[in-house]
Chain A
Amino acid sequence: VSGLEQLYQQIIMDHSKHPHGVGLTAGDETSHQRNPVCGDEVTLALRWDAADGTIADVAWEGSGCSISQASASLLATLAEESAEEGQPWTPEELTALVGEFREALRSRGAITLDEERFGDAAALSGVSKYVARVKCAMLAWVAAEDLLARRSASGA
């Protein structure tokens, strides 16, 4: 398998062509992230369960390269799967996931994302060998982190 095929795994190709979780509504509090180098954009919302303060849903909209768009789609899918399994993320859990994701992507290939924890999003591990593309893959996750920080700052 060539480096290019490791980067563009079928899961990433599928998610970039048929993204999940797309669609924001007027009431969403969003974080807008841009990669000025190539024009990638992701606007993302975390939808909170009012009862227990967990994350019920991740929704987003965006445009840009397949890595940035697939990464947002994979984050939304992972959130959906966690909620469906009756284990929706707490803010602390998502904060930890974003941290692990960043560490792996910045590892230049040294750390592979754990499929148990990251599901299909583990396919993004290949990005870590492509330093110029790490920012693309991080966009949605940085947006989530931004929203978590805002919520934490607001004392919720």
Chain B
Amino acid sequence: VSAAPLTRAEIDRLRAQFPILSREVNGHPLVYLDSAATAQKPSVVIEAESAFSATSNAAVHRGAHTLAGEATELYEDARGTVARFLAVDDAEVVFTSHATEALNLVAYALGTASLGRSHPGRGAGSSADAARFALAEGDEIVVTELEHHANLIPWQELAARTGATLRHIPVLDHGGLDLDAAAQIISERTRVLALSHVSNVTGALTPLDVLVPLARAVGALIVLDACQSAPHLPLKPRELDVDIAVFSAHKLYGPTGIGVLWGRAEILNALPPFLYGGSMITTVTMERAEYLPAPQRFEPGTPRLAQAVGLAAAIRFVEAVGMDRIAATEHVLAARLLAGLARIPGVRVLGAENPAARIALASIVVDDVHAHDAGQVLDDRGIAARVGHHCAQPLHRRFGITASLRLSAGIHTTEDELELAIDAVAGIRPFFGFDGGAGA
């Protein structure tokens, strides 16, 4: 990492822009370490959403009145902002409800393609185009054992609907992926590789430099869940050589209710639509319809307007800081977090031995104390952490546990806050009457 980490003064100036950070929880200043679940919003995002609703709200892509024009311009400007953020073309950016819907969209569209349905459209989307995505018995979909349920269950269902087989790249004891196994599992039968960029449980970066070429060599469609990378490091899906990437706005300091699907134009325009209705068609008769190209073919109904405007504000906010500097800061925080947790007897960090680079996120197991109880001790000190399986039951099962406690930093996190959290974690076993000094 070549960029300079943020200085404390810079982080303090950022903190001042998050209204929620001024509140107290249980008599303590809020220490928000649950950004991986949902990030807090800076004033610019809250105000952008509010200003849109107050001054420019109207239905987009229709109507000739002034407000409709302004709203359309702002909505399409938001699309352009996302496109610039990802270094892709505007027409390749589809707004969805969230990353989960984006992944379901892709899986469902592949399922529809597998039925041989024709989806005529303007210049693209013929049945011949869609046919290249058709799955059948003998085809394989490959995921990894560490996926969030949102990047697992849609593929389970797609496999069940098409007769294809779902396979997974296993996780090794140290929490990283088994790359030797991956080289065997990804084969000529692999039609889809769906994987996360960063694990939402271990925080480790997936070795895309190894896995993507394996899938590319066999012509598989490569789908990247970038939910945990988009807020923390520069995300350039074309440089990563994937075909589709998804992320959620609310983890990127933006609004809930909106997610992003990026796909290569030639792929999006060949995929059948997912949801059908208004705003996505060219000609409709009582018998049939013809469809617009991407992105409109995937955006039926009235879109998420204020949310798109809020997302654009969030992207401008992180871009002003610089994604490279955010990544550099995370690097420092991650090292501090892991080192601090490693010193606490009876506390295990999931995937700590994995040498991969990571974001400032750690999930821990406290010996003899259930994650739910451990989280309560942190909450008592105003520290917001996530407890549970973090929508990754298979990975927790792989680690031999049902739940963990996750600490995840954001752009506003200071080293002092991490120290408070580490102190609080050190107090968990003693609070429940277990030896805080024995170790496991």
Interfacial residues, chain A to chain B (CB-CB below 8 A) = 2-4, 7-8, 13, 17, 37-40, 63-67, 130, 133, 136
Contact = CB atoms under 8 A, between A and B. Distances in A.
Interface stretch (B341-349, B372-380, B408-416): B372-380
B189 interface: no
Contacts of B403: 38-39
15 contacts: A2-B380, A3-B26, A3-B380, A4-B377, A7-B376, A13-B433, A17-B433, A38-B370, A38-B403, A39-B389, A39-B402, A63-B402, A64-B370, A64-B372, A67-B372
B387 interface: yes
Nearest to A2: B380
Most chain B beta-carbon contacts within 10 A, residue among A4, A13, A136: A4
A87 B62 CA distance: 74
Interface of B: 26, 369-373, 376-377, 380, 387-389, 402-403, 431-433
B156 to A, nearest CB: 18
B372 A13 contact: no
Contacts of A65: 370-373
Contact of B388 (A3, A13, A37, A66): A37
A59 to B, nearest CB: 22
B152 to A, nearest CB: 16
A38 B372 contact: yes
Given A13-B432, A13-B433, A38-B388, A136 B26 contact: no
B431 A4 contact: yes
A66 B431 CA distance: 13
A130 B370 CA distance: 16
Looking at chain B's contact residues, the main secondary structure is: mixed
Contacts, number: 47
Contact of A39 (B377, B388, B431): B388
Nearest to A130: B376
A67 B137 CA distance: 48
A3 B432 CA distance: 15
A8 B370 contact: no
Given A8-B431, A38-B388, A65-B372, 16 more contacts: A3-B26, A4-B376, A4-B380, A4-B431, A7-B376, A13-B432, A38-B370, A38-B371, A38-B387, A38-B389, A38-B402, A39-B388, A39-B403, A64-B370, A64-B372, A66-B369
A67 B380 contact: no
Contacts of B380: 2-4
Contacts of B387: 38
B377 A136 contact: no
A136 B371 CA distance: 13
Most chain B beta-carbon contacts within 10 A, residue among A3, A65, A67: A65
Contacts of B433: 13, 17
Contacts of B372: 38, 40, 64-65, 67, 133, 136
B364 to A, nearest CB: 15
Contact of B432 (A8, A38, A136): A8
Nearest to B433: A13
B429 to A, nearest CB: 13
B26 A66 contact: no
A14 to B, nearest CB: 9
Nearest to A17: B433
Contacts of A37: 388
Most chain A beta-carbon contacts within 10 A, residue among B371, B372, B403: B372
Contacts of A40: 372
A137 to B, nearest CB: 11
Given A2-B380, A4-B377, A130-B376, A66 B432 contact: yes
A64 B431 CA distance: 18
Nearest to A63: B402
B407 to A, nearest CB: 17
B388 to A, nearest CB: 5
Contacts of B373: 8, 65-67
Contacts of B432: 8, 13, 66
Contacts of B377: 4
A75 B383 CA distance: 32
A-B pairs, top 9 by smallest CB distance, nearest first, are A39-B402, A65-B372, A65-B370, A4-B380, A38-B372, A39-B403, A38-B388, A66-B373, A65-B373
